[in-house]
């Protein structure tokens, strides 16, 4: 009596899902969007208070010399970091890391200027003096906290053994940290325009 034998296929080995190294960038973009919404609400509150006030700001407008210097520092840092990212894409890792180091130094310089500026402002305007002072210090201090986080992110990338895109975390670390840093710099441009330039130009 003959019998037939049918070989059963072996179970297929589970294949790992393809990993997209850009997913880290998507995460940082979502994070930036939430932080941008927070600043947008604060700017809207500042504008609303200004429109409803007979005189705005009710106190003397903030001095602008530190703010412009800090703006120059952050814009320069973004330019340097953008150039550095371009060097990384060209596989010139040494130049890219040097640019990253310069950006970290500029970020620390910005924080030092922030301390000096706050010391000057606090000597003439207390945090709880009125609604204007509360909003002013809330926005500028929150931004300083974001700069601190940005410096920490850049410093972390600087210490990594490799900053090129990879399939395991951290995904595209140089690019993702640069995205956040450019966001922080952009926010400061709006802060200078709304909180410093506008009160000094449109004093009424």
CATH code where residue 123 lies: 1.20.120.80
Residue 120 lies in a domain: yes
Tens digit of each residue's pLDDT (9 = 90 or more) over 91-129: 898 999 999 999 999 999 999 999 999 999 888 888 888
> Per mean pLDDT, which range of 30-34, 55-59, 93-97, 120-124 is the poorest?
55-59
Residue 50 lies in a domain: no
Provide the residue range defining the domain that includes 142: 70-201
Cα 154 to the center of its chain, rounded Å: 10
- Stretch 158-181: mean pLDDT: 82
Res 19: pLDDT: 57
Q: What is the dihedral of CA 91, 97, 98, 104, to 10 degrees?
A: 150
Residue 34 lies in a domain: no
Residue 6 pLDDT more than 60?
Answer: no
What average pLDDT does the structure give for the chain?
86
- The confidence band for 5, taking pLDDT boundaries of 50, 70 and 90, is very low
Residue 88 lies in a domain: yes
Residue 135 lies in a domain: yes
Residue 4 lies in a domain: no
Residue 164 tokens, joined: 């090129």
Tens digit of each residue's pLDDT (9 = 90 or more) over 118-167: 999 888 888 888 888 999 999 999 999 999 999 999 999 999 887 776 66
Res 101: pLDDT: 96
Q: Domain count for the chain, please give it.
A: 1
Residue 137 tokens, joined: 């210090």
Residue 32 lies in a domain: no
Distances (CA, A) of 69 to 40, 76, 193: 24, 11, 14
Q: What is the pTM of this model?
A: 0.85
Residue 40 lies in a domain: no
Measured distance CA(91)–CA(47) in Å, rounded: 46
């Amino acid at each position: 009596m003959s019998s037939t034998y049918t070989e059963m296929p072996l179970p297929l080995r589970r294949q790992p899902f393809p990993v997209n190294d850009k997913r880290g960038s998507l995460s940082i973009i979502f994070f930036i969007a939430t932080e941008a919404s927070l600043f947008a609400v604060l700017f809207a509150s500042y504008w609303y208070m200004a429109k409803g006030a007979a005189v705005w700001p009710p106190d003397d407008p903030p001095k602008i010399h530190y703010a412009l210097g800090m703006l120059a520092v952050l814009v320069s840092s973004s330019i340097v970091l953008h150039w550095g990212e371009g060097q990384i894409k060209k596989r010139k890792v040494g130049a890219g890391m040097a640019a990253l180091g310069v950006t970290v130094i500029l970020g620390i310089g910005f924080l030092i200027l922030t301390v000096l500026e706050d010391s000057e402002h606090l000597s003439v305007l207390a945090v709880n003096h009125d609604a204007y002072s509360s909003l002013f210090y809330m926005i500028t201090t929150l931004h300083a906290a974001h700069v601190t986080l940005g410096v920490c992110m850049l410093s972390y990338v600087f210490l990594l053994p490799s900053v090129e895109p990879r399939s395991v975390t951290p995904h595209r670390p140089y690019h993702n940290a640069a995205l956040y840093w450019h966001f922080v710099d952009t926010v400061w441009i709006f802060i200078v325009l709304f909180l410093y330039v506008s009160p000094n130009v449109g004093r009424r």
